Amino acid sequence: MSEQHPLSQTLGLIRIVTMDPEGRSSLEYEAKLEQCHSGGVVQGGFITGWIDAAMAHAAIAKNGDGVVPMTLELKVSFFAPVRPGLVIAEAWVERHGKRTSFYEGHLKDAQGTVLAKATSTILLADRARVEQASRAATGA
């Protein structure tokens, strides 16, 4: 397996299951005890991050590596507590635009129960410009 990005490690990414050029993705994560608050329930920021990452992967699958999907708006609804163990984040494009697209996603447990859903407005930014601006901001 290739070296994982530190963010993927922090989120507990197990594997990217699919990245479909039609604008769909599926990612498996390990929800860890260290990501839980009281009662052994995963903190909502991790849940949001998992679905957000799946939507970003779906956007990259549809638009190619030349874009950086930048979240402009994100809404998450939590349906049930997420506990440690395998979780699956799935996402798909709902409406595709030239610079702005709308994505949806959900988080399921290993039995297929939907635990949370999200919608996102994503800016499809040019990767070269984003990386250049980052280098200029950090002096790298």
Looking at residue 54, which CATH number applies to its domain?
3.10.129.10
pLDDT above 70 covers what percent of the chain?
99
Distance CA 9, CA 29 (A): 10
According to the model, what pLDDT value does residue 33 have?
Answer: 94
Q: Is residue 91 part of a domain?
A: yes
Report residue 116 as tokens. 């949370």
Separation of alpha carbons 9 and 130, rounded Å: 23
Residue 126 lies in a domain: yes
Total domains in the chain come to 1
Residue 81 lies in a domain: yes
Can you give the pLDDT at residue 1? 44
Is pTM beyond 0.95? Reply is: no
Q: How far apart are CA 11 and CA 127, in angstroms?
A: 23
Nearest to 81 by CA among 54, 111, 128, 47: 47
pLDDT tens, position by position, 119-133:
999 999 999 999 999
pLDDT tens digits, one per residue of 50-99? 999 999 999 999 999 999 999 999 999 999 999 999 999 999 999 999 99
Q: Is residue 1 part of a domain?
A: no
- Give the separation between CA 71 and CA 84, rounded to whole angstroms: 27
The pLDDT > 90 percentage for the chain reads 88
**Residue at 53 is within a domain:** yes
Fill in the DSSP letter of residue 98.
S
94 found inside a domain: yes
Q: Which domain holds residue 99?
A: 6-138
Q: Which residues are 73's β-sheet partners?
A: 121
